[in-house]
Amino acid sequence: MLSYRHAFHAGNHADILKHLVLTLCLRHMNTKDKPYLLLDTHAGAGLYAIDSDEAKKTGEYIDGIARLWNRVDLPPPMKPYMDALQACNGGLKLRRYPGSPWLAGHFAREIDTLRFCELHSTDFALLRREFKEAGRRVKVEQCDGFEAMKAALPPPSRRGLVLIDPSYEIKTDYPRVVTAVKDGLKRFATGSFLVWLPFLPSIEARALPDKLKKLPTDWLYAGLTVRGPATEGRGMTGSAMFVVNPPWTLKADLEASLPWLTNVLALDAKAGWAVEQNAATPGAR
């Protein structure tokens, strides 16, 4: 049963890290003239109202994107991401937060192909409406994103980026992520795979980063923690992005951004950040 809806969490600290990494990777893809495929396996609704009942119920954006909105001391690598958010809101008051499909549509070029997968019926309908006039370069499907990877890879252009961002509301999401990346690399060894990881107290969540780090490929791991564990041992304390075949510029951009982000988003003294890289062929991308 699918119950998770991202509208309750849009604009939180995890979104900021995920979408900063996505923006940096998309901009790097744009540096070459050849077209690419962007496949979003768990796309959500595409765009979220910060003043909606769902967002107000949790208020997660207050300690997330709202803390960044009026800052004028952004690290340079963060500026394109924040400029995109300004564009999404018409340069006015913060009322909307763009999901990964909106950001992909904003940064991708007319020659690139965007494929968005979403199973939840409500979010799928919203996503399809958001892109109803996007033309043939955008395909919105109500389907299992893990399964869609098998048919979509490798893309004809042999350039592509896959964003894997499940809710992890069911435990099978954890092994499916590892299997999907392994299978994706067999089909498309040079593709970039971006995986979002939650920092949760469960055994599955704690084990997932190490399982991914054992992959025999180039990867980058970036983590952002905003608080220490709650006394009752519940809740998400932060998140990470695991990037297979990362842009050669990504590590430096994140090392310039994450210390600042940690300071701005920290909820207690246990906030922190980390960047690790396993680069068999440094500078190749």
DSSP states of 21-42 as a string?
A: HHHHHHHHHTTSSS--EEEETT
Length of the chain: 285
83: enclosing H helix or E strand: helix 79-88
Angle at 247 between CA 244 and CA 248, to 5 degrees: 115
| Mean pLDDT for all residues in the chain | 92
What does the pLDDT look like over 166-223, one tens digit per residue?
999 889 999 999 999 999 999 999 999 999 999 999 999 999 999 999 999 999 999 9
Q: Lowest mean pLDDT of 5-9, 26-30, 114-118, 165-169, name the range.
A: 5-9
Catalytic residues: 165
- Rounded percentage of the chain residues whose pLDDT exceeds 70: 95
**AA letter at 163:** L
- Residue 1: what pLDDT? 45
Is it the case that residue 129 has pLDDT exceeding 70?
yes
DSSP states of 144-197 as a string?
A: -HHHHHHHH-S-TTS-EEEEE-----STTHHHHHHHHHHHHHHH-TT-EEEEEE
Q: How far apart are CA 52 and CA 199, in angstroms?
A: 26
Model confidence at 232, pLDDT cuts 50, 70, 90, reads low
* pLDDT average, residue stretch 159-170: 95
Is it the case that residue 280 has pLDDT exceeding 70?
no
Q: Among candidates 16, 25, 30, 166, which has minimal Cα distance to 99?
A: 16
Model confidence at 282, pLDDT cuts 50, 70, 90, reads very low
* pLDDT average, residue stretch 40-68: 88
Q: Lowest mean pLDDT of 70-79, 180-189, 250-259, 273-282, name the range.
A: 273-282
Model confidence at 50, pLDDT cuts 50, 70, 90, reads confident
Q: Which CATH superfamily is domain 6-278 in?
A: Vaccinia Virus protein VP39 (3.40.50.150)
Radius of gyration of the CA atoms of the chain, in A: 18
- Read off the tokens for 57: 């119920």
What does the pLDDT look like over 70-119, one tens digit per residue?
999 999 999 999 999 999 999 789 999 999 999 999 999 999 999 999 99
Q: How far apart are CA 133 and CA 200, in angstroms?
A: 38
Is it the case that residue 146 has pLDDT exceeding 80?
yes
> Where do the domains of the chain lie?
6-278
